C-alpha cells in the first residue's frame, strides 16, 4: 500500500508541475461597409476548441451563402495563440476613438483566452490600428477567411 501512495503522490506532483495548455476561442466578424445590396459582403470566422467555422454573406440576407467547418491542428492553434500574445492582443487596452467613422468597412475581434475576454473594437485609436491589422492578418493566415 505505501508504494501505491508514493506512486500516486509522484504522479500528482508531475501533473501539477506541467502547465495546462491555455484555451483560446475567438470570433472575427467583418464587412465591407454600408453599400448597396449587390455590393455588400460580410463574414465571420469562429474558433471553438479545435474547430473553425467560416461563414460569408452577400447583400444583407440573414442566411450565409457559404459555411465551411474544419478542424485545426493543435500545433497551428498553439502557434496562433503565441503570435497573438506576441502582438499584444490580450494585454493592449483597446479603445475606440471619441468620433466613430460612418459607413466604412471593418473588423471586430472577440478573443477568449483561458476564460478572459478581450474585445478589439471595429474602430480603434490611430496608434492601435497597425497592431489590430497585424492581429486580424494573423487570424486570417492561421484560420483562413
pLDDT, tens digit, for every residue of 77-135? 999 999 999 999 999 999 999 998 888 889 999 999 999 999 999 999 999 999 999 99
SS (H, E, C) 19-62: CCCCCEEEEEEEECCCCCHHHCEEEEEEEECCEEEEEEEECCCC
Q: Which domains does the chain have, with CATH numbers?
A: 21-143 (3.30.1560.10)
- Residue 1: the pLDDT is 53
Which cell is 80 given? 496562433
Distance CA 47, CA 35 (A): 28
Give me the pLDDT at residue 64, please: 94
| Top-confidence residue, 5 or 62 | 62
Q: How far apart are CA 94 and CA 127, in angstroms?
A: 10
Q: What b/e sequence results for 52-91 when a residue is b if at least 16 CB atoms lie within 10 Å of its CB, and e otherwise?
A: bbbbbbeeeeeeeeeeeeeebeeeebeebbebbeebebbe
Query: For cell 465571420, what's the residue?
Result: 44
The answer to whether 81 touches 22, Cβ cutoff 8 Å, is yes
The torsion angle over the Cα atoms of residues 59, 46, 81 and 93, rounded to 10 degrees, is 60
Q: What angle do CA 19, 20, 24 make, to 5 degrees?
A: 130
The tens digit of pLDDT for each residue in 18-48 reads 454 579 999 999 999 888 889 999 999 999 9
Close Cβ partners of 56 (under 8 Å, ≥ 6 residues apart): 41, 42, 43, 64, 65, 66
Amino acid at each position: 500500500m505505501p508504494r501505491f501512495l508514493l506512486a500516486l503522490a509522484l504522479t500528482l506532483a508531475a501533473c501539477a508541475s506541467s502547465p495546462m495548455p491555455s484555451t483560446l476561442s475567438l470570433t472575427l466578424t467583418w464587412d465591407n461597409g454600408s453599400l448597396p445590396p449587390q455590393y455588400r459582403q460580410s463574414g465571420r470566422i469562429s474558433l471553438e476548441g479545435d474547430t473553425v467555422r467560416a461563414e460569408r454573406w452577400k447583400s444583407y440576407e440573414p442566411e450565409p451563402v457559404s459555411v465551411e467547418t474544419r478542424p485545426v491542428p493543435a500545433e497551428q492553434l498553439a502557434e496562433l495563440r503565441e503570435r497573438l500574445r506576441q502582438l499584444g492582443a490580450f494585454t493592449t487596452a483597446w479603445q475606440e476613438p471619441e468620433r466613430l467613422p460612418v459607413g466604412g468597412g471593418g473588423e471586430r475581434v472577440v478573443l477568449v483566452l483561458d476564460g478572459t475576454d478581450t474585445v478589439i473594437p471595429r474602430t480603434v485609436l490611430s496608434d492601435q490600428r497597425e497592431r489590430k491589422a497585424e492581429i486580424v492578418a494573423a487570424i486570417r493566415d492561421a484560420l483562413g477567411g
